[in-house]
């Protein structure tokens, strides 16, 4: 890792056998850096930076520059990070870097394109709303965090997107798209010295800036922690969540193992009990999300109205069993092997390597190799798993979002607090 004079951190992961160069530019900005009026602004900007620059005034010219070299390009926005990436054959690395730098520093933000893309972003929001499972996933943010930035939808709402104007985009970019608030991560068949030289050439004029902090998380469930949206559809979509731990918490490895015991994969407790033994759901599983200072543990299931309450009771029972009973040794070892093995398999491409380390650097300011992570996963004990379960799964811990035919919010609240 090297730091340019303006403060931009440049990270490379050399993979000599790779045929690719994957470039990811991370900016530490997302929904938690927004205001109620501008919720969705970070995501909207992510769209707009693909719409034309001074040198490449159309979206087609940007995509053709990468795809014409055999590459791919895209971006994503989360609560805390926006990432722009492209991946090309390694000999075309400079093209990828040139396009990234052009998009990030010389976007036209043409008013015509802003209005055109406004409709596209709103279509994306409508698509999420029209997908019951996805919409339950949106609602759970409000149920578990309430009205605070980390509980707001990354895409905003139809109303906030409709109200945003060009000065909002310019002010947001000037505040957040700065060298000290960004990381360039390049992985594949690359040389660090060459990447740094090219980065200085293309990003050397990026303003240094002062990294702004997002709003701190408020802990504790809101009063409206059960949200039910009735829809006349065949399936009831349940999302049960609880506030958990942040990115650097020492218990994060134990949480990954605990989550695997609970609901990751076809041999997990939830899949075995809810689907295989009882036939209550086709899909059921769990996952974690960790932000700077807080996180979530979340269980999702698709059930019929007839099986909604029984499925919810089984899910809550399995969560509480993690608190009450140590995980048996053979099950613990199998889950540790799953976590460690799936991590290694997830890092088989240049893009996944570059994004793993770039995300660590932008969010944590330090790097942890896959071998280091695997060693810490393999050191997890049954006591560690039970300890983190006790931290997260306690009285009044559960938030719930439901989309579809459902029991009342009061009835469901009684089931998750019983």
Tokens 């009684």 appear where?
414
Our CA angle for 406, 409, 410, nearest 5°, is: 125
CB distance 150 to 30 below 8 Å: no
Spatial CB neighbours of 371, under 8 Å, sequence gap ≥ 6 = none
DSSP 347-361: T-SHHHHHHHHHHHH
Bridge-based pairing of strands 182-188 and 236-244 is unpaired
Radius of gyration of the chain from Cα atoms? Answer: 22
Of the candidates 16, 290, 284, 283, the one whose C-alpha atom is nearest the C-alpha of residue 150 is: 290
Give the CA distances from residue 203 to residues 77, 99, 111, 307, in Å, rounded to whole numbers and listed in that order.
Answer: 21, 11, 26, 56
Burial class (CB within 10 angstroms; exposed 0-12, middle 13-18, buried 19+) of 11: buried
Distance from C-alpha of 131 to C-alpha of 416, rounded to nearest angstrom: 25
Residue 251, phi then psi, degrees to nearest 5: -85, 10
Distance from C-alpha of 307 to C-alpha of 279, rounded to nearest angstrom: 9
Burial class (CB within 10 angstroms; exposed 0-12, middle 13-18, buried 19+) of 280: buried
CB distance 179 to 10 below 8 Å: no
What three-state secondary structure class fits 330?
helix
What are 73's two structure tokens?
A: 């390009």
Please give the positions annotated as active site.
Answer: 46
Of the candidates 148, 23, 7, the one whose C-alpha atom is nearest the C-alpha of residue 75 is: 23
Three-state secondary structure readout of 386-401: HHHHHHHCCCCCCEEE
């Amino acid at each position: 890792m090297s730091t340019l004079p303006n403060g931009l951190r440049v990270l490379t992961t050399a993979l000599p056998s790779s045929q690719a160069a994957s470039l990811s530019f991370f900016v530490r900005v997302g929904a938690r850096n927004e205001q109620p009026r501008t919720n969705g602004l970070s995501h909207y900007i992510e769209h707009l930076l693909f719409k034309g620059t001074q040198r490449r005034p159309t979206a087609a010219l940007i995509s053709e520059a990468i795809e014409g070299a055999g590459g791919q390009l895209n971006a994503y926005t989360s609560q805390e990070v926006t990432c722009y990436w492209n991946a090309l054959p390694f000999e075309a690395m400079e093209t990828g870097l040139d396009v990234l730098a052009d998009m990030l520093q010389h976007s036209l933000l043409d008013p015509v394109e802003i209005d055109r893309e406004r409709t596209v972003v709103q279509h994306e929001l409508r698509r999420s709303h029209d997908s019951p499972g996805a919409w339950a996933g949106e609602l759970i943010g409000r149920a578990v965090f309430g009205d605070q930035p980390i509980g707001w939808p990354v895409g905003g709402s139809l109303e906030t997107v409709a109200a945003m104007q060009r000065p909002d985009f310019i002010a947001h970019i000037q505040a957040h798209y700065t060298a000290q608030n960004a990381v360039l991560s390049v992985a594949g068949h690359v040389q660090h010295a060459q990447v740094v030289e090219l980065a200085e050439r293309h990003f050397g004029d990026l303003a240094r800036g002062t990294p702004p902090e997002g709003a701190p998380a408020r802990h504790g469930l809101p009063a409206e922690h059960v949200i039910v949206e009735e829809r006349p559809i065949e399936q009831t979509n349940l999302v049960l969540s609880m506030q958990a731990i942040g990115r650097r918490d020492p218990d994060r490895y134990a949480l990954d193992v605990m989550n695997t015991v609970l609901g990751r994969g076809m041999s997990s407790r939830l899949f075995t009990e809810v689907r295989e033994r009882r036939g209550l759901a086709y899909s059921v599983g769990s996952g974690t999300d960790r932000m700077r200072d807080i996180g979530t543990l979340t269980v999702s299931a698709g059930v019929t109205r007839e099986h909604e309450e029984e499925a919810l009771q089984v899910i809550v029972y399995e969560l509480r069993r993690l608190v009450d009973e140590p995980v048996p040794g053979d099950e613990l070892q199998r889950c540790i092997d799953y976590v460690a093995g799936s991590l290694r398999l997830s890092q088989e491409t240049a893009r996944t390597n570059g994004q793993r380390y770039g995300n660590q650097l932008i969010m944590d300011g330090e790097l942890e190799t896959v071998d280091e992570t695997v060693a810490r996963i393999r050191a997890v004990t049954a006591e560690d798993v039970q300890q983190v379960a006790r931290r997260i799964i306690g009285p009044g811990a559960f938030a719930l979002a439901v989309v579809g035919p459902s029991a009342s919010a009061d009835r469901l609240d009684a089931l998750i607090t019983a």
